[in-house]
Structure 1
Amino acid sequence: MDAKVLLIFVFLGFGLVPSHSQAPLVNREYHFVHLLMNWTSAQHYCREKYNDLATFESMDDIHRVNRPSQYQFAFIGLTDDPQSWKGIMGNDANSWRWSSTGETSKSGYHNWRTGQPNHYGTPETCVYGNAEGRWIDEACHLKLYFVCYDDTLPPGQKTYTLYNNQTRTWKDAQTYCRAHHTDLAVIENALENTDMLSIKSTQAAWIGLYRVIWRWSDNSNSSFRNWAYLQPNNYLGNQYCGAEDKYQKWHDVPCHMECPFWCQVVKVEIMVLRVKIHTNADLSDPATNPQILQQLRTVLRNKIFLTNFKLRWKIQPANAGADTDAVNG
C-alpha cells in the first residue's frame, strides 16, 4: 500500500497543472447609479437591484469601469460602522480583537473610558489603559509603556508584567511581549482588569486590543485600499462610509450624505478539474480513496492555490478507470 500511495503522490505533484489555473474565479460587473441616496439606502438599493455596493480588489478593477463625467463623490462598499466597535466588543470584521488570538472577545467584557473609543481625527486602532484602568483608543505609532501577560497554571489564569522603563509603539510592544512573554495583555473580565491595574499604577500603557478599520458591505476580505492623501481622517468624528471622488481616489465621508453610488454584480466562475488516475491499486477500496483525496486536496491548495472546492469520486465502468472531479465554487 505504501508504494501505491507514493506513486499517486508523485503523479499528482508533477502532473496536475491545468492550463486555466490562473483564471479569475470571481468577476465583478460594476454599475453606476445616478440617484442621490445616503449610504444605507444605497446599500439597500444595490442589494435589491444588483448584488451589493461595489467592492474593489485592485487598480485593474478601478480602471476598467466607465465613469460619468461629473460627480463629486460616489459611495462604494466600504464602511467602518461604529455599531461594530464604538463602546462594544462586537464580532464584525472591523470590531476590536485581541493580539494573542487575532479574534474578537469571547466574553464581551470591556472597560472603555466615557466617550471612548472615538477614532477621532486620525486612525486610532490600538488601545491603552489609563491610570484608572479605563481603556482608550489611540494611534498605534504613539510610544507608550506597555503590559505583557503570561498564561499560567491552571490554563487561562494570567499574570501581567508592566514595562515602564521604556516606551514603544504598539507594534513594537507586541513584538517584545511575544518574544519574552505570551503577548500583550489580554483582559476578559473585571478581575483581570483589576490585576492589570494593580501593577500598572499611574502609568498609561498599551494592552493587546486592536482592530482593522473598514470592511466591505459584501463581507469580502479584500485588503485593497485607494485612499486620497490624508484620508481617511474621520473629520469631526462622523465619517464612517467610503466614497470615490472624480479622480478615483477614496475618502471617508458622513454616511448620511446623499450622493450617487456604485453597485456590483458578482459572477463566480466554476472551474472543474478532472483527474484520471491509472494505477494497479483497488480504487474501490474504502481505505484507499481517502488517502488519494487527501493528496489531491494538498496539491490543489498548495500548488494551484484553490481554497473553496469540493472533491468527489466518480467510479467509471469496469476497465474505464476512475475519475475524481474537483469543483471550485
Structure 2
Amino acid sequence: METSLYLTLLISGFYTPSSCLHQYHLITNNMNWTDAQSYCRAHYTDLATVDDMEDLNRLITSVSGSIYWLWIGLKKGDSMKWNWSLADRRFYREGETEFRNWDTGTPQNGNCALMSTAGLWNNTSCDDQHHFICYDGKQDTNLTYVLIQENKTWIDAQSYCRQNHTDLVSVRNQTENTEIKKKISLRRLPVWIGLFLDSWRWSDQSDSSFRNWLPGWFRIDQKYSCTTMSSYSSSSSYSKWINTPCENHYPFICYEALQLKRQVVRMKMTQRDQHLNLRDPAVQDAIVQEIRNKLKEQGLPADTKVTWKKQPDGKVFHKEEEGSPKKEEEEKKMKRMMTKGEL
C-alpha cells in the first residue's frame, strides 16, 4: 500500500531501559518451596516470577501438561502494599504507580478499591459485588475505558477484564481520574478499579504486582505462605494460583533471565494525502512496515517486534498545531511506538 507519508525518525530520542525476558524451565523433581528456591537459584536465576499476562502465557506454554500443581516464586511477606492489577512497568511513567485519590478517612478496612461517582476512592472487601471499569490497550479499538454494568467480585472483575480487554483499570494521574469519573457519573454507583492490597512478594525481590489467584483465594487472611499454580489444562483452575503450605512437595518452575532491549521511538509524520485515514488498520500496518525498514537501516535486527503505543486518550496519532514549538507540548502530540527485540 502507498502510504503517502514522509516519516522523520527522531533517532536521538531513543529511550533504552534495561529489561529481561523470563525463560521458564519445568523441574519435575518434588521439593518443598525452600528447596525448590535453592535449586532454581543454583541452576537458573530463581523460582518463577510472572510480570504480566504475556509472561503467564509463556509460562503456561512451557509447562502445560498433566502435572497438576507447581511451585512459583510468590511468597507471603510481612508488610502490606497497594498495587495495581495491570503490572506492565512500561505502562507507567515515574511516580504514576503511586497516584491515589482516597476519600476522607480512607483507606480503612478492605483489600480492594472502588471509585465513587464523585471520583473519590474507597476500599472495601474484595468479595463485595460491584460494576467495574476495564482498561483496553488493544490496537484495534478506540475505547480505552470500558464500563461493565455487571455485579462481580473484584477477582471476577479482574478475570473478565483480562479475558475481554486488557485488565482492570489503573488510574495513573488526576487527568485519568477525571476521565473515568465522567464515565461513571450518570450511573450513581461506585465501580471497581484495579488497585488492591496484599503482602505477597516474589522470590527474586521483583516488585511485580501481577497476581492470578483462583477465585476465593484472594483474601487478607490466606492461611498458607507459598504459592502453587495449576497447569492441568482440563481443570477449571487451569493457570490459576492458590496458597499452599510451604512444606508440601511439588514440581516447580524456574526462570532464566534473558536480557532485552526495549526502545521507544518518537516520530513526526508529515502527511502528503490529507484524506488518508490514519485510524485505518491497513494504513497503520503499512506505516509500521516502513518504520521497520527504517529501524533496520539503523542497525536493529530484522525480527524486531514493532507495535503501536496508545496514549491515555486511546489514540495513537495527535495532530501538531501550528505555533506550538514548546518541547513538552510537542512531545505530547508526537506518536509513540514501542519496539522490542532480544539482544
**TM-score interval, smaller chain:** 0.3 to 0.5
Greater relative contact order (Cα < 8 A, sep 6+): 2
**Structure ID, larger Rg:** 1
**TM-score, with length taken from structure 1:** 0.39
- TM norm structure 2: 0.37
